[in-house]
Structure 1
Amino acid sequence: MLISIVAPCYNEEDVIELFHDQVQQVADRLLPLGHDMEFVYVDDGSRDRTLAALQRLADRDARVRYVSFSRNFGKEAALLAGLRHASGDCVVVMDADLQHPPELITRMVKLREDGYDQVIARRTRTGDRMTRTLTARLYYRIVNRLVDIELVDGVGDFRMLSRRVVDAVVNLSEYNRFSKGLFAWVGFPSTTFEYENAAREAGRSSWSFRGLLNYGLDGLLSFNNRPLRAALHLGMGLLVCAGLYTAWIVGAALVNGVQTPGYVTIITALTGLAGVQMIMLGVIGEYTGRIYYEVKRRPHFLVKATNVDRAKDLIP
């Protein structure tokens, strides 16, 4: 079995060679069992010398294939590029910062031999800050009530995929991609095991709070239209409330006569309704913007340098 290791890289100059050495050790242990490996690295427009490091790895190891983007297109585009260029019978998707322990690949291979199409590594939250743990649990609880698929807390991109799962995911050509959701959407027999997340060996995470927030919104909006339905229900509820309030005002006027209307009541009602309208417009605008990007059909990424078949880079 040929195993492809797909690792997106962004400013990983300090750790990429150490990562390759550790994964190569796993490959050497699997080779006597009849499993070979290839390494597919995707440089997501790094600002350091990550590309030079990948070129050095390719010079000394013929199994290394690299793709370097013309700019930073994001991790989702890097994952898609890696899956497109992977030719293995199965593919292991993992981060290049060594937070995904390479020694777990051996365990994935054993579970893959049991017939599973997806072998998923689910990290525990041991050592995480309490605020981060509670925020994550709240997010997944809310999202799983809304989306049409199940997203599991602690499950990320670290997993082994069979060839038919890889082909299914690559054939989903949507521009706004949320790989964690796509892996769940395609289905196929899956199994999950837990592991403790490791610390970064070098460098610092490129994820900011804003980036994590946008990533969470992508997960919420990519697999359902319930926010639009919620906006409709909220509008109907406000209409009913406005009708009841109007009936109450008219009834009070008929019984007690016309009184001077309250300034505070009017301002509060106008401000509240304006805020609700802006939220509704924002939800509609978010979906409209996604349609806007989809109909343009721009490529997900542009390649600056690679040592593999350039024809695959032209797929939109």
Structure 2
Amino acid sequence: MLESGSGRRLISIVTPCYNEEANIDELYARIKAVMATLPAYDYEHICIDNCSTDGTVAKLKEIAARDKRLKIIVNARNFGHIRSPYHAILQSRGDACVLIASDLQDPPEMIAEFVEKWEQGYKTVLAVKPESDEHSFMFALRKIYYRLVTRISEVKLVPNATGAGLFDKQVVEILRSIKDPYPYFRGLLCEIGFPIATVPFRQPRRQRGVTKNNFYTLYDIGMLGITNHSKVPLRLMAIGGFVLALVSLLIAGLFLIAKLLFWSSFQIGLAPILIGVFFFGGMQAFFIGFVGEYIGSIHTQVRNMPLVVELERVNFDD
């Protein structure tokens, strides 16, 4: 076990930030208060800033100047909501690493529960939200997605996991060896295979600042979960294409027979032709799009780009 200078075991707390100026002070204070209730542990608090355009970095540096436990990584540009936090986890040096959101929708007070589960022997602990104060439609949509991905995934996933949690140093070392440039982090933790403890909580609404999630980011992580952990869509497309070809052949045969039997009176008309063209065109576009997602995932892997490029580090003395 890695120990800090005080002889206590070290916990690394990672909080990804992007334009969270309004939340930084409370985030820092609440994490500090929680760790004060865990006297057996020392901690480092790593904030990785994804090239914020507000005063987030200035506020972080102000706090870091008086508390060396707060460490800052500033990215050269915005590398997205998937790569940036994953990079920070790999930079941690504690006996365990905690990932928690900087928007305070994952309450920092859960850290004590994470550590308790870790002390019980679990190498991975995940926060799950069976209840949420977010819009009911979005919450229902997320639950449907998790249910779908869990059903088609090749590994058993944790439903309603937010991504926040605690990961033992052994898990972090395995993540370092995988070298995935664009991971579906929640799925990757399940794929490693260690038993996972869960900490349920009711997710509050964001109190300050603006959410960084939009349709594209939600679609991105949603599709990543499917393409990284399931071949079922590809196989459904192959089976579906075969079935559609058989049905089309059967319908074509029936039309041919009807035309031969009722040559003068049977008229096909334009409607069936137009419906068929648009239907099969739509199906082809859908299939090609899904295949494109898998090809895009392969392209990301083979480029072997770094997770992020760092512009600056603060308080990383070693």
TM over 0.5: yes
Q: Is the 8 A contact 2:134 2:205 kept in 1?
A: no
Amino acid at match of 2:303: K
Residue of structure 1 in register with 2:83 after alignment: 77
Aligned to 1:17: 25
Pairwise CA RMSD of aligned residues?
2.0
Task: State the partner residue of 1:122.
Answer: 128
2:147 aligned residue? 141
1:43 aligned residue = 49
Task: Establish whether residue 277 from structure 1 lines up as the match of residue 277 from structure 2.
Answer: no
Q: Rate the CA distance shift 1:171–1:262 in 2: closer, same or farther, 3 A.
A: same
In 2, are the aligned partners of 1:136 and 1:153 still within 8 Å (CA)?
Answer: no
Which residue in the other structure is 1:107 paired with? 113
1:83 to 1:28, Cα distance in 2 relative to 1, 3 A: same
One-letter code aligned to 2:128: R
Contact 2:132/2:204 (CA < 8 Å) preserved in 1?
A: no
| TM-fit CA distance, 1:126 | 4.2
**Residues 260-269 or 302-311, more deviating:** 302-311
Which shifted more, 154-163 or 204-213?
204-213
Distance 1:276 1:267, change over 3 A: same
> What secondary structure, in the 3-state scheme, does the structure 1 residue paired with 2:38 have?
helix
State how 1:142-157 maps to structure 2 within 5 Å.
142-157=148-163
Q: Residue 176 of structure 1 contacts residue 222 of structure 1 at CA under 8 Å; is this kept in 2?
A: no
The residue number in structure 1 matching 2:5 is none
Letter in 2 for 1:268: I
Stretch moving more, 126-135 or 35-44: 126-135
| SS of corresponding position for 2:63 | helix
Please tell me whether the aligned partners of residues 83 and 170 of structure 1 are also in contact (alpha carbons under 8 angstroms).
no
Counterparts of residues 1-316 of structure 1 (less than 5 Å): 1-31=9-39, 34-257=40-263, 259-307=266-314
Superimposed CA distance per residue, residues 177-219 of structure 1 (whole angstroms, 9 cap, x where no aligned partner)? 2111112211212211211223434212111233222221221
Change in CA separation of 1:26 and 1:130 when aligned onto 2, cut-off 3 Å: closer
Superposition TM-score, scaled by structure 2 size: 0.91
Task: Find the aligned partners of 1:28 and 1:205 in 2 and give their Cα distance.
Answer: 29
Using the TM superposition, name which of 233-242 and 244-253 deviates more: 244-253
Which moves more between the two structures, 173-182 or 271-280? Answer: 173-182
Quick one: structure 1 residues 298 and 198, their matched pair in 2 at CA, closer, same or farther if it must change by over 3 Å? same
Shift of 1:2: 0.7
Aligned length: 309
Please give the per-residue CA displacement for 1:125-160, whole angstroms capped at 9, x wherever unaligned: 243433223222222222222222233332111111
One-letter code aligned to 2:153: V
Q: Which runs of 5+ in 2 are unaligned?
A: 1-8
Question: Which residues of structure 1 form unaligned runs of 5+?
Answer: 312-316
Is the Cα–Cα contact under 8 Å of residues 117 and 162 in structure 1 kept in the other structure? Answer: yes
The TM-score with structure 1 as length reference comes to 0.91
State the secondary structure of the residue aligned to 1:11: coil
Describe the SS at the equivalent of 1:289: helix
